Structure 1
Amino acid sequence: MKIGEKIRRLRVKNSLTQEELANRCELTKGFISQLERDLTSPSIATLMDILEGLGTNLRDFFNEIEEEKIVFVKDDVFVTENEDYKYTLNWLIPNAQKNQMEPILLELEPEGSSKEDYPHEGEEFGYVLSGIISIQIGNEKHKAKKGESFYFKPHANHFIKNIGKTKAKILWVSTPPSF
């Protein structure tokens, strides 16, 4: 953790100059400047004084949730292929298993299918970007084509199969993450 950077963000958020923060804590502007650039480290007592001047405390400062990444680019995508099942899985959000939902882009070659998944808590949503698929839920089969979506509670074994003659692409979101 870069303490200085975090202190600077809090200072700016509180609309304080380095000099104003330094005065509140009986420190020098130079010390605050060096601290924010991680060129020096404060003692625990000094850090507590600074945090008090910023309206927070040690516990909240170190427990504060880091800003989460909002936009993900092509280089963030993790791809795996399975030749036996004839699919490519594109994990669109890195480490999505820590989140409440997990979006993937599933690409199925003709006759390809996802692996069968067991019943679990949560919900499944998909949007067919191209192709024609069959959604198997227990003994039930449901067909969906480009531009259509599906939504179900996974109370039985389930999988998706490409029943068309061209590649099928599905944006699939599972909650909780299960891929």
Structure 2
Amino acid sequence: MKDGRGRRRKTDERGVWFEDERPNSTVLGPKIRSLRQRMQLTLDEAAASAGISTPFLSQVERGLARPSVATLVAIARVLGVDIQYLLDAPREERYVARGDRLTFFGFADATKRFARLTRVTEGGRMEALLVRIPPGQQLGEITARAGEQFWYVLSGAVTLTLAGATYVFREGDCAHYDSTDPHHWRNTGEREALLMWVGTPNLL
């Protein structure tokens, strides 16, 4: 099928790309696979969440297939990134994160929400996130996969239990510790708490 300007277009599982607009599969596939693995999602889980088949997602990750616009949007949503990241975003967006473009995402039925402050790159060691914790909620052990981590409280009141001791944090307070020390965070205030997390190796 051709459009009005004579360009041939093809269809994938959902939606269409014009032939000269299709993303580079050799770049796209590894990005998707790296993000999926960092989120500890299986192919089956990621494919089901994106509404596509597991074999098709496997082909995308191996550079053997190119997803449609709609499919790529769905994959980006599951991985918690903007579609522009997967499409080789403009140079600025590889290094700069604009506050008005941050997108918060969650895992499964978790009430906590996360937004990436750093760009996930192949071989990258450091990750930075904004974390929203509703009142009365505890932050799960997702951060235990990092080795060294730093937290800074931007707003709200939270309590850290670390190696058997309890510490109360408010705006401007911070903590730096090794993830091998038993720990968990809880929002002990009456409003949502906003924290910045920085860790290495990367978390997601």
TM-score by length of 2: 0.47
Where 1:170 maps in the other structure, the secondary structure is strand
Which one of 168, 171, 178 corresponds to residue 196 of structure 2? 171
**Amino acid aligned to 2:95:** I
Mapping for residues 29-68 of structure 1, pairs under 5 Å: none
Which one of 153, 159, 163 corresponds to residue 134 of structure 1? 159
Total equivalences in the alignment: 115
Note the alpha carbon deviations across 1:113-152, whole angstroms, 9 max, x for none: 2212475663111110001111223433222111111111
Identity between Structure 1 and Structure 2 (%) = 24
- Partner residue, 2:138: 113
Shift of 1:91: 1.4
Q: Which runs of structure 1 show a deviation greater than 6 angstroms over 4 or more consecutive aligned residues?
A: none
2:168 aligned with 1:143: yes
Where 1:79 maps in the other structure, the secondary structure is coil
Asked whether the equivalents of residues 78 and 92 of structure 1 are also in contact (C-alpha less than 8 Å), the reply is: no
Q: Tell which structure's C-alpha radius of gyration is larger.
A: 1
| Structure 1 residues without counterparts, runs of 5 or longer | 2-65
Distance in 2, Cα, partners of 1:128 & 1:149: 6
| Structure 2 residues without counterparts, runs of 5 or longer | 1-25, 27-90
Asked whether the equivalents of residues 146 and 202 of structure 2 are also in contact (C-alpha less than 8 Å), the reply is: no
TM-score by length of 1: 0.53
**Amino acid aligned to 2:169:** A
Distance in 2, Cα, partners of 1:115 & 1:141: 16
- Partner residue, 1:99: 124
Distance in 1, Cα, partners of 2:110 & 2:122: 23
Structure 1's 84 and 165: CA in aligned 2 closer, same or farther, altered over 3 A?
farther
Distance in 1, Cα, partners of 2:143 & 2:128: 18
